Each structure stands twice: as structure tokens, then as C-alpha cells.
Structure 1
Amino acid sequence: MDKIVKKMQDRCYLNHSEDEDARLARIDALLAITAAILVFLGVSGSFRRRCGNRTFAMVAFGAYTLTPAVIAYTLGLIQTAQSCHLRLPIWATYLVVVLGSVDSYTAHSMEDIERWKSFKVDSAAKFIMTSWMIASYAVLFGPILCILLVILFIKLDQRAQALMLASNSVMQKNYRYIADYMRTEHQGRDSSNADPITMCGYRYVVMCSTAKWRPKAAPWDDGEAPHYRQSLKAMDEVITIEKVWNCKGRLLSESGGDPDGRLKDLCLSFSLFKFICLRFTGYSLPHEAYDKLWRLIKHMLSEEKGYERVFRVIEVELAFLFDLFYTKYPMKLHLRRSAYRLLLLPILVVVPLFLLRYAVLRRDVSTTCVTLLLMISILVVELTQFAIMIFSEWAKVTYICKYVRNEWWQRNRCARKLIEILCRVWLVKPWGRQLRQYSLLKSYSYSPWKCIYNRRTAAYFDQKRNGQKQINPTNLSKQVKKAIVHSLGKNFTGYLERGQASLRCNDMSDELSWACDLETTTHVIMVWHIATSICEHEVPCAQLSEEHRDNFGVATNLSQYLAYLVVYAPRLVPGHPCRTEYIFGRAVHEAREKLGGSTVLMEKRIEELKMIIDNEQYRETIVGRGSRLGMQLVNGVADKGRMWKVLADFWADMMLYVAPSNDTAAHAKYLTTGGEFVTHIWVLVSHAGITRDPRGGEQHIDPENN
């Protein structure tokens, strides 16, 4: 009997030992997975603003969403481990530190930002849980784990602070003094005296710097009755655009470190970025401010290749906006934060090195491999984040403002050269500069896979609809940008129209204005898109001269881009998105009903479209109207080069008409998937105070507020 009991005890011990080994193996595997996710999020998070690949966005979302669950499960396994291993509490602490230190992926969407209070509670819970685990090992490894605990608290608090800074309620408080300052700045002043060449009179705030002996002093005075508008105090300490342009240092001179004006324009982008933030907080600027900004924009456009400069400034503005919402870089404006992070790096690396040495001495292969992987992951992420931080747009603005404020820096050649080198490095481009494309005549026959896109998967995947298939994107050409700014400068009379201005300029208003006065903007876009596709087939690019080929490229690229917005980004198009989606669905149904399936060649589809014109059943449909307009352009305009100029001018006008929007959240949303060109035009018309013609009767209202 004693032998049987002994054998059962030995078997239980072996089973317990095997269970413990299996648990430690699972912990090692989960640590490896977490390290891989860490590297992916830490390194690639900042690239979201220039990558429009939907697969990448889905993988990033999956990694961002699953990381907390993986870490929580791993922490639970560590807590239930019976063996007293030094690596367990250290790994537990590093897991939570890792979760809180992914600077380039602070939030995935605007909805995450508004949950910043929940995130702070969640961070506090993780901190308490990890602290309790450390306390159980404090007798053995107290000093090491206390250091990790301090690091943990600092990193978690920084991420929570970044989310709070980007929340709507906090933004309203932080930017109210900018709104008050702009109203006070233009009140009782003649803004027509502002000179856009020297920037004299453009006292737009770049950065507020309080005195060294008052580091926590507010940079503004309290408002007085009856308006209670706040005003900036100690203006000699506030860096403005005017001061940047009038700086005497060689760093910002054309003959010195800024021959192309890019460093000055960086500060201009940062200043104008604050005006875009006012749109998100509901504040508005006085009319005088819009007039002065419009004069500045017109001056920039009048320069040689001024259109490139204008869009470059806007690109950097939106890069600042992306960082504000989705990264922690706005929390690191001070140089001492960079030094703090650099000093923190050795501490984060020394502890795993100590653990690695301990594992090697014990010849523990599993612990050695996992510790090596953990240490390499930390090094890769921390060094990458440190490099991105010191070369970020936020850091560069800080360097330039300190240079403008400090006369010693202006006289010191080494300081100037160092700042010049730092400001010339761009690790991440502002955006991908691509136009996504869609063609109804090429994609109407597409049907999504039912095994992936169905009611059961609707909660997990964005559902595709019939006809919803992109074609290859195209690079944003200089001809497209020139066409848009040319349309803005030539046709702007205060309000934007649905292409009527371009038709008047080309003496085609009487013949084609009917196609601009349709029921909705979606109708206009889809009808002209079909007509442009017909013209593309009937008068191909090979038959045109070099000048008219540019118009061909502008018309076809913008036609397919606006059609893409209708299909994939209806919130960026005037009208309610549900209404836009329904109209597109009806257009796909009409095309399928009349043009046949996917096996029908394009030539046959075009022939079928020509026959629709005489069919009363389809005459007033989107497909029928598009066919009638297309043949009217092909047969009614003798000069085919002029036909493409009409189309290019029309689509440039439509891009301007679509851009104004009150749905700021939609533009912020698409920044995370590479950004949209219409958002850049939205910024341009917002600065100029340009709106749509109110007689159009169609306003873009945020559906979330309905």
C-alpha cells in the first residue's frame, strides 16, 4: 500500500512538474509574440499617415487590439507560476512598460482618443496589478524591480497624457486662447497692411515660451469683461511667424541654411496647424483673419512653382494633426525630454542584460533566447522612437524657435550647423502622395466573396458591396495640383459651384449646364464620371498633343478619384453618406442590368452605353445621363483637345466644391489610412474661408450629430 501511495505521489509530482514546464513554455511563446507585436507597432505606427494599404491597416488594428489581451493572459500565467524565477516579475513589468511605451501607436481611431479617462483607469489597474506582483518578489529583488516600477509609472502616465491632450474637451480649453488671440489681433486693425512677402503683420503664434524663472506660468492673461477674451502676455517671449521671417541668423536666410525656405515654411505649417485645430474644437476665426490668410495663399501661388509650396505646407500641417491625435510626439516638445529618454534607455537594457547573464550561467536555453529577443525588441523600438522623436516635425519646430529666441545660438556656427543637419533629415514623409482610383465601367460586375463578406462577418470586417473594387492608384501629379490652384485663383468669387464656373470659362455652359444641376453631388460625380470614361475610350491619350495629354491625365485621374470617394469615403462627399451609398448601389444595378457581366469587353460596354441614349427606360438614370453627356462631349466638341480641357477644368472645380466640410472627424479618420487628397484641399479652402454656394441646397452635415 505504501508503495502504491508513493508511486501516485511521484506521478502527481511529475505531472505537476510537466504542467509547470508547459506553463513556462507558454509564457516564453507569448513573450516572443508580444515582442514581435511591439516591434511592429513601435516601428511602423508612424508610417500609417503615408500608407494606404488596407491589409496593413487591418494587421495594425489586429495587433493594437489583441496586445492588451495577450499581455493580460501572460500576466495571469506568470502569477500562477509556482517557480520563483527572477525573470517572471521582470518580464511582467516589461510587458506593461512595453504596452505603455509605443509612442507611434498611441491610439487607433478618434473614438479611442475620447476614451482617455477609461485608458487612465486601465493604466492605473495595470500599475496596481504589476506593483502587487513586484511586492511579492521585493524581498529577493527589491532594488531592480523598484527601478522598473518607476519606469512603468512614467511611461503609462505619458501615454495617458497624450490621449488627454488630443481629446476634444481638452483641445477646446487649450486652443481657446488662440481663438481669442486671433480675434484680439484683428480687432481694430487694418489687416490690409500685412505684407505676405516679409510676413510683417502676420503675428500668427508658432510657440509660446515662458521665462525660465516662470516655467509653469500661463502664457496668457485672463479676459476682462464684457467679452472675457484672453490675450497673450509677454509677446517678446512668443515666437510668431513675423519673428521667424525677420530672424537675422544665417540658419533661416536664403544665403545660409534655408535657401528654399523650407525651415520657415515648417514654422508656418505649425502655426496654421493651430487654425485647423480650431475647426476641430468648434472655434471660428474673424473674417479679417480669412482675408489675410487668403492674401498669403495668393502670394504663395503667384510664385514659380507656388502650387508645390502651398501643398507642401499643407502636407506638414496634416502631419502635425496626425501626430497630435495618434502619437505621443506632442508631449515631447522640450529638449530635456529627449535627454530623459536617452538616459532611460541604458536602464531598460541593463536589467535584461543582467537577466541574460543569469540565464547563461544556468545554461537555460529558453530563458536566454526569450531574454535576447526581449532585449533586441526594446533596443529596436527605443532607438527607433528616439530617432523619430529628435527628427520629428515637432522637434524641428522646437529647434528653430529656440534659435530665433536665443541670440547666442544665432551667433554660434556649431549650433546653426547642428540644427540645420537635424532639420534636413526626414525619416517619415508626410504622406504617400497618391490618388486612389475607381472606375464604374471596369468594376460594376465585381461581387465580393460571400464566405468573407456576409452577415456573420459584418461585425469583424468592413463589408464590401457589389461593384466595390478599386483599380490601381496613381501618383499625384504636378498637373493635378496646378489645375486645382489655377481653378481656385481664376474662378473664385466667394462661393464654389458644381463645375458651372469652368463651363462658363470654356463657353460650354448652355450645352452642358444641365449635367451640373442634378439632384445631388453624387449624381453629378457619377454622371460626369461615366461621361469621362466614354471620352477616354473614344478619344484616347495617344491621339492628343503633349499639352492636351496633361488635361487628359488631370480629367481621368480626378474623375476616378472622386468616384473612389463616392464608393469608399462617402463621408467626405456632400450629402448624407447613407444616401450616397444608396445612389451608388443603384448605379451599379443599372450598369449590371444593361451592360452585362464581367466577360463583356470594354468596347461592347461602350456600344451598349451609346444605345441607352434612345431608350426611354434608362434616359433619366445615372447610366443613361452619363451616356448622353459622354456622347454630347464626343460629338458636340469638334476640337478633341478642347474637349479634354473642358473635362479637366470641370473636375478641378468639382474637387474644390467637394472639399468644404464640417465633418472634421471624417478627415481625421482617413489620416490613419494614408490620408486623402481631398483633405489637403479641405485645409486649403478652410484657411481661405471658402464655402459652397448656399443656393446649391446641399450641405455636408456630420451624420453623428443627426
Structure 2
Amino acid sequence: MAPAAGPETRELLQSCSETMIYFVHNMTASYADKSNESSVVATSVAMFILVAVFFNLNLFSRASDVSAVLNPTVRLFLSSSLSLFLPVMSYLFSEAKKASVDKFIVVNLKLGQQQADDLPLLARVILTWMLLVELLRKKVEAILITSTGMHLYSSLITHASTVAWLGNLVFFNLKAAGQKALFGVLWLLCAAKLVQRVAITEIGKRSYAHGKNARLISSYMAHLPKLKLLVAADSTSSMDRCNFAVMGEENMVLKAGPHGYELDLGLAASDAVVTVGKIWQTKQHPRLKRLCLSFALFKLLRRRFESLPPATRQETDECRELILDAMCKDDQATAGDVPAEVALFQVLNDEVNFLDEYYHSVLPVVLASPYFFVVNYLCFPVVVFGLCVMTIVLCGNGRILYAFKSLTNDNYAVSSGILSLTKCLWKNVVRSPPVFFCIVDVSICYLLFIVVVYEEVWEFIVFLLSNWFIVSLLCSFSANPRPVRCILWLRRNISHYPSLITIKQFTVLSSSPRLPTATLPKHAKLAILERFSRGGGGGGGGGDPLSNGRAVLLTSTGGRHRRFSRLAWACQSGAVAEVILTWHIATSLLETKQQQQLPTSASRSRRTAARLSRYCAYLVAFRPELLPDDREGTERIYKDLKKGIKAALGGARGYYLSSERSRHETIRALRVDASAAADMTVLERGAVLGKQLVEDDEAGDGAVWEMLADVWVELVVYVSPSRAEEHARGHEAALVQGSELVTLLWVLATHTGIARPDHDGEIDQPAAPA
């Protein structure tokens, strides 16, 4: 018979049953052992913190976010924690397993006898944690479809090793049939998730629609002139004639050739291949048509990230016609639901979201399709359920009734009821510290179970509401839009998709660690698109060459800013970061000047200039890899500026404790020899330029702000294009942090062939300001 619990335990747990007293005594026995009390308590506390992070991450951070991407900082923290979790828990499991029988009393509720060869209760609790955390491991691992070699399989090998080790702990340490069945089911779920992940990775990597799609699209676009002849649309609309593939291009593959894939181009005219033109000829909502266009452009852009041949001149010309002309002029593109500039930025934002989820997703939304939905979310759970039943029966040596009864008889928490156990613990939590830690351990199990269930439900919801699934439904059921309408109705009622473009705001003259966000003004969107429409030197479309702002002052359309041509010296620098910081400081100084009422157009220009100024300063300070200059050079320029500001403000004390207004007054009051422009620092150049802007603004007609808005639009467009592989990788890495305006514009420049002039580094030394 099991020895009775101590009198102090009975006294504390007077309201509980005899068997529950034994259970609590077993749970708290480890805390009474002074030799391992500190390690057990520390483990429980650390585990509770980890579970709280998972719980908060899943339940409270997704109220309006259905993205399949996890914040990289959170993912790094969780992956680091999980890398230490298994060895630490394995050691604690081993220590708990060695505990003497008189400290861990296992009660057989049916026979009332002790089973000395069973696993102690604390060891089973630790094993429960290990299995449930393993079920959450996929939360912090991106699904790698395009990677190859050991980088692709390293995480899978680690995952498989962990599952194998947990299987060893379950099936070679548990003796009671009910306990082995319960933990065996949990282990089976872990193994099933591993098999599911391997299958998704292999299918995605080998599929022409996913892993091999970038090379397939490269072969497809090489036949663009032939496609125009084969698939001739009756409509004169550019969108109706567009042959960019949305889905189904994998059906055209005949075989792999020496220069790409050999394709059956005749299928392009059939329903086997869905193109943008075919989607545009349907009666779908314009928002859905634009989503398909974003998906097609995303496929084109993947070639840029996977070292494939760049777009041809003909392709960039067609993209310019589609994006910058048809999107802004074709009534079907917007149908009055949103303005043209909003629709275009929406297309770019959706495209970047596709890229983000393709390269950084932790959920299998990339494979979203009706077929995958049936296999992964209907058939697979049925198969796993059957395997779970088989596991329970096998753990009972084939005795079906005994196996299922043992689930209750051999697991006290199941037989007594979760609510009864929790009620007993909470009634006595204030009477004894061991009971407090006992309820912490039990709460960890509860929270882990809740998070696991929630994670599965949320994955299903994200899959259903993803843009990937909507595009797949559109291409599969274009004649019957009802399924798509149901998904859209769910998405409108469950989640919130922001339609506005937000940009981070930062000023170098402030020491605040906050990075507030602001919306990109409509005036800024129109001005940026108008600048792209005018083209850029070195690009496929020709037009006005891009400049770092100098052309706005010297050769602007109609010469409307010629009166400010004397300020062109502020743009004469070989480093774009210096130009940005110079104009940013000057714009900040002008902002703090007491402004009188401006005309409406000038007020819009002021808002555009101020927000783009702070955004470009943010890029220099926090995202130098997204700028065209070398990252180290940009970082050095910013560090030198910070040193200069600290020196001007009287050291660290003045830098961190002074108000923003006093900072601006101090910088504005700097005494600078304006005749030696080549020797001025960035801070001094910004101060001199700021004084000149203030003087020019005395008229109060708002002309200065209109000029500044054009300069900042020119600058933000100028820094966007890049042919360098390093900057493409920088944009890819930044995707997971959220869509950046400069990334959207880089995408637009890549599609339309806009580029900076090849000679943009050949710039003279700054001349003295007039």
C-alpha cells in the first residue's frame, strides 16, 4: 500500500480527497528536498516565463494580424530558448527519474497499490512540457522551400533527432498502459508534425509551381513575344492583353532544356494557364483583380532574389505600360472603389507581402490551394486520429477496452477531473509555498495545452484568410465567385488589413528612442508616381534622369524652382547619406520656425516634405543596407553626425537632457564659415541650408515647402533603384520587419526598369553656398 502523506500535507489539504492529497504530496515533494529545491524552482519559473511568451504571442498579438510571418526578434529569442530547452529538460527529467520512491508516491487509483517501477510524477510533468513545447517548435521555424543543401535540412535533422529522443523517453520509461498511451499520443502528434513539415518542404522544393517556379517564369517570359501572337485579346486594354502568368504555368513544362525549360506554349491559350489578362476579363471585384496582378508580379520579382537573368527591355516596357499607365488610367483597375494612386500602392504592398510570406513564413500558406486544403486540413487529421487510436490499443497490448479504460485509471489528472484538481490547489495556495509552486507547474501544462490548440486553430484561420488561398480560389473557380466571396466576408469580419502605407519617422535632432509611424500622404503618392512616370536615366524607359535633388533646383519642369538654384550646393556630394542628412537638418530647422497660415497646396507640400524627410533620416540611421551607398560608409557618416551634434550641445548631458526646441535653437545658432563649403561637416551644412530656407520662407507664400516636397520626392525615388546583389539581399532581409516604402519603390523600379545614371558617383566637390 502507498505510505500516507505527512500530517502537514493532510492539514493543509483538508478539503481535498485522500487520493488528491497523495497527488499534491507527490507534486510538491521535490520542493521539500533542499538539495534540488533551487534548481526545481528556477526551472519552473523559467518555464513559466517561456510559456507566458508563447501564450501572449499567440493570443494577444494577433487581434488584427493574419500574417504567416513571425517577428524576427521574437523568433530569435524563442529559437534560442528552444535550443537550450531540450538538454536542460532532459537533465531535469533524468534527475527526477532517479528520485527515491518514498519521495514520489504513485497511487494506482483502481488497486490502491504503489507501482515502484513507474515514472515519478515530476518526471511525467517535465515530459509533458517537452512534448507540448515540441508541438510549438514549428512556430519559430520558417518553411524553407527555395533553400538547398544542408541549410534546408539542418532544421529538419534537428527536429527529427528531438522527436526520436522524446520517443525514447516515452516508450522506454513509462510502464503503465494508460500513461504510455497518453504520452504516446502526444509523441505521435510531434512525429506527425515532423512528417508533415518534411512533406511540405519536399513538395514545395520539387514543385514547378513553387520551388522551381522562378526558373520556369524566366523561361516563360523569354517567350513573351510569341505569347502575344498566340494569345491575342480582342480588347484594346493593356490589362486584358497581359500574358503574365498568375497560376497554371507548371502545366506547360515539357522537359528541362540547356537554357531553361521547354514549354508547350499552345496551352497558354487554354484554361490550363491563368494569366492577368484572363482574370481581368472576368467580372471579379477590382480589388481581387489587383491581387492577382500582385501575385503575377511577385513571381516575376522572385528572379531578382534567386540570381536568375534580369528582366528584358521588352518586359520592363510592358510593366511600365501596365503599372504606370494602365493602372492609373484603366477604369477597370479601380472601378471607382479607390483612387488610382491608392490602387497602385496596394498592388505593390500586396506583392511585397507575397514575397515576405514566401521567404519567411512559418505556416504553409505558400502551398495554399483547394487541393492542399483537403489533403492537409481534412485528410491528414483523419489519418493522425486513426494512428492515435492504434497507439492507444498497442499500448494496451491489443486489449481495446482495457487500453481506453487505462487512460483514465492510470492518469490521475484525467480521472479526478482538471477542474477538481485546480479547485483543490487554488483553495490551498495561500497556505503553503510548495502548493504555490505546484499550481505553477500545473498552470504551465494548462497554458501549453491552450497555446497548442490555439496555434492549430489559428493556422487554419490564417490559411483560409491568406491572399494565397484567395488567388488560388480565383484561378480555380473564376466562373463561380461564391467561395471567394465567403472568404472575403470572413476576412472583413475577423481581421483588418490596413490599406494605408505607413512610414517610420525619425529626426537626428531628437534623442527619443521612439520611432513613431505616419501615413504616406496622398500628395506624396501622386508626386512619387508622377516622378516614376517621367522615367529615369539608365532605365528601360529613358525620360528624366534621376538625381539626388539637384535637378529639381536647376532643371525642374517649367523652371518653377529656379529661384532656389543657389541651394544646389547642398546636393553636391558623392554620398547620398550626406545629402539626406543635410536636407533633413535644414527641413527640421524650418519646421520649428513659427509658421503662418499656408495655402492649401503649400500645406500639403509641407506635410509631404516633413514626413519624407523623417523617413529618409530613419533609413540612414536604422536601414543603411536599403540605401544605394555602401553600408559601412553610411554608418560612418551617421556616427560622425551624432558626434557633431553632441559636441554642439555640450556633450552627452546636453544631448540627452535638452528639449527638442533648445536643440534646434542651438543648431540654428551655429557659427559657420559658409565660404568654405568643402570643409563643412554635415551638421554645419544642414545649419547653413536651414538658415537659407528660413530666409526664403519670409515671403510666406509656401514656395519653399513646395520646393522641399519636390526635393524629398526626388531623393526618395533616387535611392530606390539598385542593381547590386547586396541591396537585393538587404531588401529581402528587411521584408520580415514589415513593408518599407523604399522597398515598395525598389520593387516598382525593378519592374519598370527605372535606374540611376551610371555616372551618378562622378560628382564635383561642393561649391560655396551663395
TM bracket (short chain): 0.7 to 0.9
Match of 1:481 in 2: 525
1:53-92 → structure 2 map (5 Å cutoff): 58-59=73-74, 61-82=76-97, 83-84=118-119, 92=127
1:198-597 → structure 2 map (5 Å cutoff): 199-208=239-248, 220-224=253-257, 227-231=259-263, 234-235=267-268, 236-247=271-282, 252-253=283-284, 258=285, 261-283=286-308, 284-298=310-324, 299-302=326-329, 305-327=339-361, 328=363, 329-333=365-369, 334-336=372-374, 337-340=376-379, 356-358=413-415, 360=417, 366=438, 369-404=443-478, 407=479, 409=480, 415=483, 417-422=485-490, 424=492, 427=495, 429=497, 433-443=501-511, 469-470=513-514, 472-490=516-534, 492=536, 493-494=542-543, 495-503=545-553, 504-505=555-556, 506-508=560-562, 510-538=565-593, 540=595, 542-596=596-650, 597=654
SS in 2 for 1:206: strand
Name the CA distance, whole Å, in 2 between partners of 1:344 and 1:34.
32
1:82-121 → structure 2 map (5 Å cutoff): 82=97, 83-84=118-119, 92=127, 95-96=130-131, 98-99=133-134, 101=136, 105-107=140-142, 115-121=151-157
Match of 1:6 in 2: none
Deviation at 1:377, TM superposition (A): 2.2
Name the CA distance, whole Å, in 2 between partners of 1:348 and 1:37.
32
Name the CA distance, whole Å, in 1 between partners of 2:169 and 2:355.
39
Query: Structure 1 residues 129, 630: closer, same or farther in 2, change over 3 A?
Result: same
Query: Structure 1 residues 21, 643: closer, same or farther in 2, change over 3 A?
Result: closer
Structure 2 residue 715 is matched with structure 1 residue 665:
no
SS in 2 for 1:696: coil
Deviation at 1:168, TM superposition (A): 14
Match of 1:140 in 2: 177
Query: Structure 1 residues 603, 133: closer, same or farther in 2, change over 3 A?
Result: closer
Deviation at 1:167, TM superposition (A): 9.1
Structure 1 window deviating more from structure 2 (186-195 vs 315-324): it is: 186-195
Match of 1:8 in 2: none
Name the CA distance, whole Å, in 2 between partners of 1:87 and 1:607.
65
Q: Is the 8 A contact 2:584 2:614 kept in 1?
A: yes
Amino acid at match of 1:135: F
Deviation at 1:418, TM superposition (A): 2.8
Query: Structure 1 residues 310, 487: closer, same or farther in 2, change over 3 A?
Result: same
Match of 1:652 in 2: 713
Structure 2 residue 661 is matched with structure 1 residue 622:
no
Deviation at 1:557, TM superposition (A): 0.8
Aligned residues: 634
Structure 2 residue 738 is matched with structure 1 residue 674:
yes
Deviation at 1:71, TM superposition (A): 3.9
Name the CA distance, whole Å, in 2 between partners of 1:611 and 1:191.
68
Gaps of 5+ in 1: 1-13, 211-217, 447-468, 700-706
Name the CA distance, whole Å, in 2 between partners of 1:340 and 1:25.
43
Q: Is the 8 A contact 1:116 1:160 kept in 2?
A: no
Name the CA distance, whole Å, in 1 between partners of 2:47 and 2:146.
29
Deviation at 1:295, TM superposition (A): 0.6
Deviation at 1:294, TM superposition (A): 0.7
Amino acid at match of 2:531: S
Query: Structure 1 residues 698, 179: closer, same or farther in 2, change over 3 A?
Result: farther
Deviation at 1:152, TM superposition (A): 1.8
Query: Structure 1 residues 118, 45: closer, same or farther in 2, change over 3 A?
Result: farther
Match of 1:151 in 2: 189
Deviation at 1:655, TM superposition (A): 0.6
Q: Is the 8 A contact 2:674 2:688 kept in 1?
A: no
Query: Structure 1 residues 183, 386: closer, same or farther in 2, change over 3 A?
Result: same
RMSD value, Cα: 4.4
Name the CA distance, whole Å, in 1 between partners of 2:464 and 2:515.
38
SS in 2 for 1:222: strand
Amino acid at match of 1:119: S
Deviation at 1:529, TM superposition (A): 1.1
CA-to-aligned-CA distance 1:252-285 (integer Å, 9 cap, x gap): 43xxxx2xx1111122211111122111102222
1:10-89 → structure 2 map (5 Å cutoff): 19=33, 32-42=48-58, 58-59=73-74, 61-82=76-97, 83-84=118-119
Q: Is the 8 A contact 2:613 2:712 kept in 1?
A: yes
- Could you tell me the percent identity over the aligned residues? 24
Query: Structure 1 residues 48, 571: closer, same or farther in 2, change over 3 A?
Result: farther
Name the CA distance, whole Å, in 2 between partners of 1:106 and 1:698.
45
Name the CA distance, whole Å, in 2 between partners of 1:380 and 1:346.
18
Q: 2:219 aligns with which of 174, 180, 193?
A: 180
SS in 1 for 2:348: helix
CA-to-aligned-CA distance 1:559-591 (integer Å, 9 cap, x gap): 111011111111111211111111112222333
Q: Is the 8 A contact 2:298 2:355 kept in 1?
A: yes
Amino acid at match of 1:518: S
CA-to-aligned-CA distance 1:635-667 (integer Å, 9 cap, x gap): 346564111111001101111111123322222
CA-to-aligned-CA distance 1:292-318 (integer Å, 9 cap, x gap): 111111221346721101111111112
Name the CA distance, whole Å, in 2 between partners of 1:586 and 1:167.
46
Give me the TM-score of the superposition, normalised by structure 2.
Answer: 0.71
Q: Which has the larger radius of gyration?
A: 2
Q: Is the 8 A contact 1:491 1:501 kept in 2?
A: no
